[in-house]
């Protein structure tokens, strides 16, 4: 399931001309996109989680420092 998600994500990003060209990192730590996706899904998907708050609606997860969300200027 995780591999299928990542394949789908990379394909989606490439199709919108914003390919993921390297594994995302926060500082020196690799970001686990699957864990973030599952956390958002568990909380009710993006629209319900963000509520205009962006990534701050997603609670801290192991491997991602608290307060390390995307700043408002970097959201779609």
Tokens of 67: 């307060």
Beta carbons of 68 and 26 less than 8 angstroms apart: yes
| Residue 43 CB contacts under 8 Å (≥ 6 apart), including other chains | 49, 57, 58, 59
pTM of the model: 0.56
Per-residue pLDDT of the chain (76 residues; tens, 9 = 90+): 999 999 999 999 999 999 999 888 888 888 889 988 888 888 777 676 666 655 555 555 555 555 555 444 444 4
Phi first, then psi, for residue 26 (nearest 5°) are -125, 105
- Domains in the chain: boundaries: 23-63
What is the rounded distance in angstroms from the CA atom of residue 30 to the CA atom of residue 53?
Answer: 23
């Amino acid at each position: 399931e995780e591999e299928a998600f990542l394949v789908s994500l990379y394909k989606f990003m490439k199709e919108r001309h914003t390919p993921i060209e390297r594994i995302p990192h926060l500082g020196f730590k690799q970001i686990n996109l699957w864990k973030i996706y599952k956390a958002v899904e568990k909380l009710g998907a993006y629209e319900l989680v963000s509520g205009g708050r962006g990534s701050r609606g997603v609670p801290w997860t192991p491997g991602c420092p608290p307060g390390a969300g995307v700043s408002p200027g970097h959201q779609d």
